[in-house]
Amino acid sequence: MEIAFEPYKKVSFKSYLMYESSEAFTNVIARAIPAGAPVQAKLFWANGVLFRFFNFNPSEIEAKERISGHVIFDHVEFAPMPEYKNQLQVAERPLVAMYVLNVSNHVIFDPFTEWIRDNLIKKKSSK
């Protein structure tokens, strides 16, 4: 039996929205949830970046890109969050819990968030 790990060669995304803080990010998510509804949202964290991503609908073209080693996200939302926290509460919406998964060692998300931190967050804060 042969086993092979073939990492992706390229990750790209078509649009993004950067929030100034993790609080601003989670407040926007919470406002989209109907009042009084208990909700558990999942977010991701690595390299000081809180984020979530949206994929394209599955298609033959998208599948061919993945097979060739290219991951394409449709949209990415993120905010700086220097320290990892496994759960974030939204003050105005106590029934909304935001769970945060630490993906620091993930083969895609670690370099992806490092690039976001260095090219989008730091660039914005240096202006």
In sequence order, what DSSP letters do the residues of the chain get, joined into one string? --------SEEEEEEEEE-SSHHHHHHHHHHTSPTT--EEEEEEEETTEEEEEEEPPP-HHHHHHHHTTEEEEEEEEEEE-SS--SEEEETTEEEEEEEEEE-TT-TTHHHHHHHHIIIIIHHHHT-
Low-confidence ranges of the chain (pLDDT < 70): 37-39, 125-127
Residue 2 has a pLDDT of: 97
User: What is the pLDDT at residue 96?
Assistant: 78
At residue 127, the pLDDT reads: 58
pTM score, two decimals? 0.89
Ordered by start, the domain boundaries in the chain are 16-125
State the average pLDDT for the chain.
Answer: 91
d(CA 48, CA 32): 25
User: Can you tell me which residue has the tokens 């298609």?
Assistant: 59
Predicted local distance difference test score (pLDDT) of residue 100: 96
User: Tell me, what's the pLDDT at 32?
Assistant: 80
36: left (phi over 0), alpha (psi -120 to 50) or beta: left
